[in-house]
């Protein structure tokens, strides 16, 4: 917890609000002085935004995108954690798999999109699959790291306490690796949003990416910018939810790290 007074906090908020206000004013002034289709006035963007976040458009465009990100991310987290912990635990596997893993990490996940399109068609399964494809490597590599760094004395304690292999995984290796896994999930979340937008730009008739592209073709720029804003809000919501979960699950880790510093 940062030591700060209420007064400082209010001052900070006022500064942030002022800066946003200045930027919006600049936009609005420019939009009035140089009327052009690619520079819609704020009230038009605001109206489009409002349209997009309630009623029919919310259900048709926003929720499918959010669901794809959620499903792809969840799939990537489960796969990455499971495979990563296994590789990290069975150290002998690591040297064999390392080149493949480094290749997958270096490969920009979007390049697989055309191939996925051929394989699975323009379906939701394809979109979830490529989001998961992008999310798995960062989580997987983090989980390997986490499993390898499990304190050997804790594993000895588990053995002396008579835990089976499965119990040791559930009660020692998973909790010990969670801080690293969460660091991987944070990276994966960014990848998930990128993959969602691109998969919808390229091959979708609904979702935010498709919405933006459709409106761009119709020169409906207020809707385009509104779509960008909604994606930003969605990213912010996902990040906030993830941080909240992490804070809850890893409460011990912050205290432990603080104590050992």
Partner 1 sequence: MFADDMATASPILSVEALTKSYVGGAVPVLQDARFWQAEGEFLAVVGPSGCGKTTLLRCIAGLMKPDGGRVLHRGVEHANPPPWLSIVFQDYNRSLFPWLSVRRNAGFGLHKLDKVERERRVNEALAAVGLSHAAELYPWQLSGGMQQRTALARSIAASPELLLLDEPFASVDAQTRMDLQDLVMRICQEMKLATLLVTHDIDEAVLMADRIVVLSMRPARVVEDIRVPLARPRDQLTTKESKEFLQLRHRVFTAVRQEVKPGKPTAPRGKSDRRSP
148 contributes a contact to partner 1 by CB under 8 A: no
- Which of 8, 16, 167, 205 is the binder for partner 1 (CB under 8 A)? 167
- 54 vs 176: CA distance, rounded Å: 42
Task: Kindly state whether residue 172 participates in binding partner 1, applying the rule CB under 8 A.
Answer: yes
The verdict on 153 binding partner 1 (CB under 8 A) reads yes
Among residues 219 and 252, whose Cβ is nearest to partner 1? Answer: 252
Structure tokens at 234: 């969605």
**Footprint of partner 1 on residues 82-121 (CB under 8 A)?**
none
Name the minimum Å distance from CB 80 to partner 1.
21
Structure tokens at 146: 């986490």
Q: How far is CA 10 from the centre of its chain?
A: 30
157 scored as a contact of partner 1 (CB under 8 A): yes
165 lies in the binding site for partner 1 (CB under 8 A)? no
Using CB under 8 A, which residues numbered 196 to 255 contact partner 1?
A: 252-253, 255
> How many residues make contact with partner 1 (CB under 8 A)?
21
Would you tell me how many other CB atoms lie within 10 Å of the CB of residue 98? 12
Other Cβ atoms closer than 10 A to 97: 14
For the bound state, the minimum distance from the C-beta of residue 30 to partner 1, rounded and expressed in Å, comes to 53
The nearer residue to partner 1, 36 or 166, going by C-beta atoms, is 166
- 183 contacts partner 1 (rule: CB under 8 A): no
* CA 218 from centroid of its chain's CA atoms: 30
Write the DSSP symbol of residue 203. S
Note whether 260 binds partner 1 by CB under 8 A.
yes
C-alpha–C-alpha distance, residues 74 and 113, integer Å: 19
Under the criterion CB under 8 A, does residue 256 sit at the interface with partner 1? yes
Query: Between vectors from CA 49 to CA 43 and to CA 55, what angle results, nearest 5°?
Result: 125
Q: CA nearest 241: which of 126, 74, 62? A: 74
Taking the complex as a whole, the smallest distance from the CB of residue 173 to partner 1 amounts, in Å, to 12
Asked if residue 261 binds partner 1 (CB under 8 A), the reply is no
CA distance 51 to 34: 26
Query: Which DSSP letter does residue 218 get?
Result: T
Residues that bind partner 1 (CB under 8 A): 151, 153-154, 156-157, 159-163, 167, 172, 175-176, 252-253, 255-256, 258-260
């Amino acid at each position: 917890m940062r030591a700060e007074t209420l007064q400082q906090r209010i001052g900070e908020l006022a500064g942030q609000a002022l800066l946003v206000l200045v930027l919006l004013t600049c936009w609005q002034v420019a939009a009035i002085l140089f009327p052009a289709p690619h520079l819609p006035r704020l009230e038009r963007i605001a109206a489009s935004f409002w349209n997009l976040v309630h009623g029919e458009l919310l259900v048709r465009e926003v929720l499918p995108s959010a669901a794809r990100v959620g499903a792809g991310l969840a799939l990537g987290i489960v796969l990455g954690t499971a495979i990563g912990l296994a590789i990290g635990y069975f150290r002998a596997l690591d040297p064999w798999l390392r080149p493949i893993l480094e290749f997958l990490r270096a490969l920009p996940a979007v390049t697989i999109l055309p191939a996925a399109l051929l394989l699975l068609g323009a379906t939701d399964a394809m979109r979830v699959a490529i989001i998961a494809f992008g999310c798995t490597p960062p989580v997987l590599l983090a989980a390997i790291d986490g499993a390898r760094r499990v304190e050997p004395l804790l594993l000895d304690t588990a053995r002396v306490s008579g835990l089976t292999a499965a119990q040791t995984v559930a009660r020692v290796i998973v909790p010990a690796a969670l801080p690293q896994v969460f660091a991987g999930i944070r990276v994966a979340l960014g990848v998930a949003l990128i993959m969602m937008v691109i998969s919808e730009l390229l091959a979708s008739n609904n979702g935010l990416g498709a919405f933006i592209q459709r409106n761009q073709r119709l020169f409906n720029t207020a809707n385009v910018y509104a779509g960008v804003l909604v994606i930003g809000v969605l990213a912010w919501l996902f990040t906030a939810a993830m941080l909240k979960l992490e804070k809850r699950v890893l409460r011990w880790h912050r205290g432990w790290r603080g104590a050992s510093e």
